[in-house]
Amino acid sequence: MQKVNVTVTEDLRFALNGKEVAFSDLQPQLAALLQGTEDGVVVLHVDKAVPVEHLVKVASIASNLNAKITLATEPE
Protein backbone atom coordinates (compact mmCIF):
# COMPACT_ATOMS: atom_id res chain seq x y z
CA MET A 1 0.00 0.00 0.00
CA GLN A 2 1.31 3.43 -0.96
CA LYS A 3 0.27 6.20 1.44
CA VAL A 4 0.67 9.86 0.46
CA ASN A 5 0.04 12.77 2.81
CA VAL A 6 -1.50 15.87 1.23
CA THR A 7 -1.54 19.00 3.36
CA VAL A 8 -3.52 22.18 2.72
CA THR A 9 -2.64 25.07 5.00
CA GLU A 10 -4.82 27.95 6.09
CA ASP A 11 -3.13 30.20 3.51
CA LEU A 12 -3.87 27.64 0.75
CA ARG A 13 -0.42 26.16 0.39
CA PHE A 14 -0.25 22.55 -0.72
CA ALA A 15 2.29 19.89 0.21
CA LEU A 16 2.87 16.26 -0.73
CA ASN A 17 4.55 14.25 2.02
CA GLY A 18 5.76 17.52 3.55
CA LYS A 19 7.18 18.98 0.30
CA GLU A 20 5.42 22.15 -0.86
CA VAL A 21 4.00 22.04 -4.39
CA ALA A 22 1.96 24.42 -6.50
CA PHE A 23 -1.68 23.40 -6.91
CA SER A 24 -1.10 23.06 -10.67
CA ASP A 25 1.59 20.43 -9.92
CA LEU A 26 -0.49 18.50 -7.42
CA GLN A 27 -2.13 16.08 -9.86
CA PRO A 28 0.97 15.05 -11.83
CA GLN A 29 3.14 14.71 -8.73
CA LEU A 30 0.47 12.76 -6.87
CA ALA A 31 0.05 10.50 -9.91
CA ALA A 32 3.80 9.86 -9.93
CA LEU A 33 3.79 8.95 -6.22
CA LEU A 34 0.86 6.56 -6.70
CA GLN A 35 2.14 5.04 -9.94
CA GLY A 36 2.33 1.26 -9.95
CA THR A 37 0.09 0.76 -6.94
CA GLU A 38 -3.49 -0.47 -6.94
CA ASP A 39 -4.19 0.35 -3.31
CA GLY A 40 -2.92 3.90 -2.89
CA VAL A 41 -4.20 5.93 0.02
CA VAL A 42 -4.24 9.72 0.14
CA VAL A 43 -4.41 11.15 3.66
CA LEU A 44 -5.74 14.71 3.61
CA HIS A 45 -4.53 17.11 6.30
CA VAL A 46 -6.61 20.24 5.76
CA ASP A 47 -6.61 23.24 8.07
CA LYS A 48 -10.08 23.85 9.50
CA ALA A 49 -10.07 27.41 8.09
CA VAL A 50 -9.71 26.17 4.48
CA PRO A 51 -12.93 26.53 2.46
CA VAL A 52 -14.45 23.14 1.71
CA GLU A 53 -14.18 23.60 -2.07
CA HIS A 54 -10.38 23.21 -1.80
CA LEU A 55 -10.82 19.96 0.10
CA VAL A 56 -13.19 18.77 -2.62
CA LYS A 57 -10.72 19.71 -5.39
CA VAL A 58 -7.90 17.74 -3.77
CA ALA A 59 -10.18 14.78 -2.98
CA SER A 60 -11.39 14.79 -6.59
CA ILE A 61 -7.80 14.64 -7.88
CA ALA A 62 -7.08 11.67 -5.61
CA SER A 63 -10.33 9.97 -6.57
CA ASN A 64 -9.57 10.35 -10.27
CA LEU A 65 -6.28 8.56 -9.60
CA ASN A 66 -8.24 5.67 -8.02
CA ALA A 67 -6.79 6.31 -4.59
CA LYS A 68 -8.66 5.79 -1.35
CA ILE A 69 -9.11 9.03 0.54
CA THR A 70 -8.79 9.52 4.28
CA LEU A 71 -9.38 12.79 6.07
CA ALA A 72 -7.05 13.26 9.03
CA THR A 73 -8.50 15.09 11.99
CA GLU A 74 -7.00 16.53 15.12
CA PRO A 75 -8.33 15.32 18.46
CA GLU A 76 -10.32 17.89 20.40
pLDDT tens digit sequence for 20-58: 999 999 999 999 999 988 889 999 999 999 999 999 999
- pLDDT classification of 76: cutoffs 50, 70, 90: low
- Parse the chain into domains and list their residue ranges: 3-71
Name the class of domain 3-71.
Answer: alpha beta
- pLDDT classification of 12: cutoffs 50, 70, 90: very high
Task: Look up the pTM and report it.
Answer: 0.91
Classify residue 31 by burial, with Cβ atoms within 10 Å: 0-12, 13-18, 19+: middle
Return d(Cα 34, Cα 27) in angstroms, integer.
10
